[in-house]
Structure 1
Amino acid sequence: RWMLDGLTVDGIETRGPAEIPSREEALRIYTEGSAWFAHDENRRGRLTPGMLADLAVLSDDYFTVPISDIAKIKSLLTIVGGQIVYAAGPFSDLDATHR
């Protein structure tokens, strides 16, 4: 959320509008940027053939939920290395820890 509104917990602006990325740019920074920072951009950071397809199914649509509610988004299903590592809500029957 902070990346998209630039507000501190107390609501103080830390950046101007020109310094705030779009939601798509913020997502790219968080995913591809994190992979690059870890020197692993050739294996992760994008959902493309040949890459690790780690992903999360979220409780809300990141692109449409109000920015103030982004921090409330939760993972309902998390897949790492092709394995389900967390499942909740409508996916709870897939949780490997309860099989």
Structure 2
Amino acid sequence: MLQSTTATRPSRPSLRLPTTPTDGPLVVSLDEARFPVSLTFLAENAWSIHEAIGSEHVAHGRLHYSRGRFAIMTAAGEQTYGPSWQAALTSHLHTR
């Protein structure tokens, strides 16, 4: 299950990905993950993935959207998922 808060308004849940450089990161908490994960706008259809472990932010690659599918790119390569960024993120975090 995904729970969401925005960096500026934690009391207003939203599962919309940031779409401009001025949008704050989307912070999601997954029941399966120990720490919150943030998605930050990089470019059109591209977001960075970071896990907040205390004051540390651990990079988990980049989320990209193309041709109706999400993919996550890391130093190990690219994994393509389906049309749901939530499912892609959950699956990616399970395999790390």
TM > 0.5 between the two?
no
Question: Whose relative contact order is higher, 1 or 2, with alpha carbons under 8 Å and at least 6 apart?
Answer: 1
Structure (1 or 2) with the larger CA radius of gyration? 1
TM-score (norm 1): 0.25
TM-score (norm 2): 0.26
Higher helix share: 1
Higher strand share: 2
